[in-house]
Structure formats: C-alpha cells, structure tokens
C-alpha cells in the first residue's frame, strides 16, 4: 500500500481524513463500483461523499468496508499513519512506541497491528495455496 514512499511524501499525500478517503475510493472503486452484496455495478450517492448505495438492492457501503480500516473508532488519518509506520519498520515496532508516535492508546495500536498481521498472514496463505495449484 505504501511501497516506495517516504515519510515526507506520505505526510504531503495524506494530510487529512478526506485525502485518505479519496485514496481508498481510488483503490476500491477506481475501476467502477460493484456492490459487495448483490454484484450490481450501478450506484447512487450515499450518506456522504465516500459512501455509495447500490441502485438495485439499496445496500449502502462505505469506502472502508471490507478493508483493514473498517470499523475503526479512530480517525482514518491516524489509521493510515499506523499502517504506514507498520509498513515502514522492517523489524517491527512496539505497540507502545507506535501508539505514542501516532497519538493513540497502546491497546488501539496493538489491535490495529494484530488486524494488519492477520490480513498479511491470510494473504501469504492464499499465495502459497495458489502457487501450489
């Protein structure tokens, strides 16, 4: 997600919540909307600019749905900073240090780090299974 980007470029690119939501919209719906509930490709405006509502089944979906950022109780900007810090440190980072740097509680940093590690672990399992076929 943040390959080849340094801290200066990261801060310039992601300087508020809206820039984070815009990035997620580009990644998720850049090739067009597809409802995760019924598969319809037509949408209408949702509650806010980063929500879409399926034209067929009326299912509303946030840009964070089905991503590591779904259900976060912290601003998406802080979650992006957590993800960047985790990706930037090759040898890992303590959740105490991570929480302090981003301005969240250690428990929040630990939960997010765990969520990211689970997703990365699932991706490795999927790659291995695909390569074995």
Contact 33, 43 (CB under 8 A): yes
Cross-strand bridge partners of residue 60:
53
Residue 126 neighbours by CB distance under 10 Å:
10
Instruction: Give pLDDT tens digits for 85-104.
Output: 988 887 778 999 999 999 99
Instruction: Give pLDDT tens digits for 25-41.
Output: 999 999 999 998 999 99
Contact 52, 46 (CB under 8 A): yes
CA gyration radius, the chain: 17
* Domain ranges across the chain: 1-28+71-133, 32-67
Q: Alpha carbon of 73 to those of 26, 40, 45, 108: distances in Å?
A: 22, 29, 24, 9
Query: What band does 9 get if pLDDT is binned at 50, 70 and 90?
Result: very high
């Amino acid at each position: 997600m943040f390959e080849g980007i340094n801290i200066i470029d990261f801060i310039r690119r992601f300087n508020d919540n809206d820039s984070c939501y815009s990035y997620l919209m580009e990644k998720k719906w850049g090739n067009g909307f597809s409802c995760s509930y019924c598969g319809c490709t037509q949408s209408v405006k949702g509650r806010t600019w980063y929500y879409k509502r399926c034209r067929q089944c009326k299912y509303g979906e946030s840009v964070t749905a089905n991503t590591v950022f779904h259900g976060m109780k912290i601003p998406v900007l802080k979650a992006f900073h957590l993800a960047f810090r985790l990706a930037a440190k090759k040898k890992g980072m303590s959740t105490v240090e991570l929480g302090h740097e981003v301005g969240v509680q250690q428990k929040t940093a630990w939960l997010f780090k765990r969520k990211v590690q689970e997703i990365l672990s699932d991706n490795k399992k999927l790659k291995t299974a695909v390569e074995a076929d």
